[in-house]
Homo-oligomer: A and B are copies of this chain.
Amino acid sequence: MFRHTKLLQFEAKPERPDPVYARKLQELIGGAYGEMTVTMQYLFQGWNCRMEGKYKDLIMDTATEEIGHVEMLATMVARLLEGAPSTVTAEAVKDPVMAAVIGGMDPQQAIVAGGGAMPQNSQGVPWIGSYIVASGNLLADFRANAAAEAQGRLQTARLYNMTDDPGVKEMLRFNLARDTVHQKQWLAAIEDLKADGLESSLAPTALFDEENQDHNNTVWHLSDGPDGSKGGWSFGAEGLEYLMKPEPLGGPGTAPKPDPALYGTYAPPPVGGATALRE
């Protein structure tokens, strides 16, 4: 069960409205690597965690924090939209600056949300549940979490350069810091998984003996040029080697004769095996 305080985790007010930037901030709210994603990803991972204790608690700590990040960003968006042009566009576009602002705004923030944030990315695409993963395997999930925080920090950093409003930048400096913490913590938690003997460095820690041993160490050279062979992966890192001239191992890929009731186009191959249709 959850409880809410009205106080924001961190707060900074913009000096002036900036509706174009309000649209861009939607990426951090409802984009594939925005705060809705990490909120839901961590909540489902926590609920789906199979082992009580430090891992589950860390996940739920972080999940709970992330709900508050959506709150911070949604509040900032509403403030950035204060005084945004909501009136006659035909008139407005005669003033170039106003016009440019209108061109760059998210029209739904006005028409649908009445001047507030939407659960969508900077292009207006709604947030979708398939952005998240909660597999029950903590190594696989923590790696996904570290990746999500990396992409999230990267997008925050890009957005940091797109404003010079001191209030917005102050908030983003907090967000950058939290993305740093969360990257670190998932990397640290992966180390704990190994130290605790729960997982190895590859996920899942299973079926290594059953997998095809002839093909679990070779990087295949399938795009021309020599440089693919110049990385650590060609010189034994992780036990890998570079296969310079790989060849297909299988025969032709063929789909079976169709079921007549499904009306796939088909003619029996001619005697001798060659195709002979109107040659």
Contacts and interface: CB of A to CB of B under 8 A. Distances in A.
Interface string A178-215: 10110111011101110111110111111110111111
Contacts of A204: 150, 153-154, 157, 263
Interface string A138-175: 11100110110011011101111111110000000110
A250 B211 contact: no
Contact of A53 (B20, B120, B230, B233): B230
A47 B239 contact: no
Contact of A47 (B55, B123, B253): B253
A272 interface: no
Given A125-B124, A252-B7, A196 B277 contact: yes
Contacts of A183: 202-203
A188 to B, nearest CB: 4
Copies of this protein in the complex: 6
A1 B4 contact: yes
Interface in A52-89: 52-58, 60-65, 67-68, 70-72, 74-75, 78-79, 82-84, 86-89
A218 B178 CA distance: 8
A263 B136 CA distance: 8
A97 interface: yes
A49 interface: yes
A108 to B, nearest CB: 6
B57 A232 contact: no
Contact of A133 (B46, B140, B151): B151
Nearest to A254: B52
A90 interface: yes
A257 B93 CA distance: 25
A240 to B, nearest CB: 6
Contact of A4 (B63, B178, B181): B63
A186 to B, nearest CB: 9
A3 B144 contact: no
A47 B71 contact: yes
A14 to B, nearest CB: 10
Contacts of A189: 231-233
A38 B259 CA distance: 26
- Per CB-CB distance, the 3 closest pairs between chain A and chain B, nearest first, are A123-B124, A103-B103, A11-B250
21 contacts: A1-B8, A2-B65, A31-B111, A48-B74, A48-B115, A58-B219, A58-B228, A65-B220, A71-B253, A72-B250, A87-B261, A89-B162, A90-B164, A125-B126, A136-B258, A158-B261, A160-B210, A176-B210, A176-B216, A185-B238, A195-B278
